Amino acid sequence: MTDSPPGPLPPAGAPSDLHELRELIRRFSGERDWLRFHTPKNLAMALSVEVAELMEHFQWLPTGADHELDDAARTGIRHEMADVLVYLIQLADHTGVDLRSAVLEKMELNRRKYPVELARGNARKYSALASPADDADEGAPDAPTRT
């Protein structure tokens, strides 16, 4: 894993891997006649359950860093992450959300809320970044409180 920034994004409106996955998931669910069960409520609930199953793999570990995981845990984590992504893609599909556009929009909002000069190395929520308390705590470590 590197700390280098990702490469350039494909142009807006370009087909993405998410579209390919959406079509694969639609086909899989359609072949099984499951689409009638895929209401936004059911998909959101299923997504929540899968996130909880992902979290179970990290429960009670000091940090969840790679050296704390065995091969079985890594496999379980990978599979749960896939389940989370599948349900997220389905929820987006059923609610008309373009996930790529939503991420780009949210990143722009976050760019404004977390300017580099205030947020670099600081885990505080945007509303606490430029507060007077920050000036008084010069040199004190920042607590990870951002949500």
More confident residue, 6 or 46: 46
Q: Summarize pLDDT for 19-39 with one digit per residue, the tens.
A: 999 999 999 999 999 999 999
State the chain's mean pLDDT as an integer.
85
CA distances to 45, 76, 105, 111, 126 from 102, in Å: 20, 28, 5, 14, 20
The answer to whether residue 41 scores a pLDDT higher than 60 is yes
- The pTM for the full model equals 0.75
What pLDDT does 129 receive?
Answer: 85
When pLDDT is averaged across residues 77-104 and rounded to a whole number, the result is: 97
The answer to whether residue 71 scores a pLDDT higher than 70 is yes
The answer to whether residue 6 scores a pLDDT higher than 60 is no
Q: How confident is the model at residue 50 (pLDDT cuts 50, 70, 90)?
A: very high
Q: Is 107 helix (H, G, I), strand (E, B) or coil?
A: helix
Rounded to whole angstroms, the maximal C-alpha distance in the chain is 61
Q: Is 131 helix (H, G, I), strand (E, B) or coil?
A: coil
